[in-house]
Amino acid sequence: MRSSAEYAKTVGLRDQSPIVMSGPCPPDNRAWVPAPAVRLSVWLHAVLLTALAMAPTQWPWLLGALVFNHVLLGVFGMWPRSTLLGPNLSRLPESCRRQAVVALTFDDGPDPEITPRVLDLLEQHHAKASFFCIGTHAAAYPHLVKEIIRRGHSVENHSDNHALGFALYSVAALRRNVQRCQATLSEISGTRPRFFRAPLGLRSPLLDPVVAAEPLCYVSWTRRGYDRVSRSPEKVLHRLTRGLAAGDIVLLHDTGAWRTTCGTPVVLDVLPRLLEILTTAGLRAVSLPLALPDHHMR
């Protein structure tokens, strides 16, 4: 097996590339402002309704334009790092490059088998991370949520039930789902989550006002390893470290990760090697609140 230094050199690991904030975290007390694509969609609806009143016989063409608008919004929502439907933190700000930090995040937990072992690995490497927890999972394993906080990591909002149809919910349903998870995590951990990541990274055009009202900062990622669909630790590690730079937001999973041919969850094989590579490159793994200390709740 190659050393961490050799692997870092092979995949082009770097810590001096410029960091660009993609859809920066908005102020905690911001009033919701519709994204340009949403404003354009509202304007188009008004135009089409007016056109329908003036020329009702043209309804097939008008309906087609409306359907095309919704399909386009759906495509925007399926692009996890897009900022077209609202602010989206996919990479940390410039200051993080100078501090040589990488935000390490885990989705879909907590899990009674994997999460404790992930916490042990992080502690062994003096690393911190943010755990985007599902509300129902947190309610089932509250002791794990408390342990995440006790070890100096952060617990963030990943919806209440990780529904596959989350992006299709109404505003009211989105609000209930996000607020339920927020309440669960706040009560168990004693700390109110400050960041939100949508299930599967699929985003509804109706989600941004719900996130802004909490207030939460919407987060996607810079790099993901696809550890939920790949049995190869080498491939997962390569996806995560190819061109990895200070300021990146890295995504892994502490629930539902696939297992290697030996039966080990892929994340548990990848994580120690990833942390060693970061150390070799002079990078430090931190949680999102540690990376963004000025993003305070008000």
What is the tens place of the pLDDT at every residue in 178-202? 999 999 999 999 999 999 999 999 9
Q: What is the pLDDT of residues 11-32, one digit of tens each?
A: 445 433 333 334 455 555 456 7
Catalytic residue among 107, 208, 254, 269: 107
**What is the Cα–Cα distance from 296 to 18, expressed in whole angstroms?**
25
162 is catalytic: no
45 is catalytic: no
Confidence of residue 296 (pLDDT cuts 50, 70, 90): very low
Tokens of 112: 């009674």
**Which stretches within the chain are classed as H helix?**
4-10, 36-54, 59-77, 94-99, 114-124, 135-140, 142-150, 171-189, 207-213, 233-241, 266-280, 288-291
Pairing of strands 130-133, 249-253: unpaired
Tokens of 75: 């495509």
**pLDDT for the residue numbered 282:** 95
Q: What is the mean pLDDT of residues 102-111?
A: 97
Q: What is the mean pLDDT of the chain?
A: 85
Tell me which of 10-19, 130-139, 275-284 is least confident: 10-19
With a cut of 60, say whether residue 120 has pLDDT above it. Answer: yes
Catalytic residue among 137, 153, 162, 253: 253
Percent of the chain surpassing pLDDT 90 = 61
Confidence of residue 95 (pLDDT cuts 50, 70, 90): confident
**pLDDT for the residue numbered 73:** 63
**What is the Cα–Cα distance from 285 to 122, expressed in whole angstroms?**
9
Q: What is the mean pLDDT of residues 114-141?
A: 98
Of 139 and 25, more confident: 139
Confidence of residue 293 (pLDDT cuts 50, 70, 90): confident
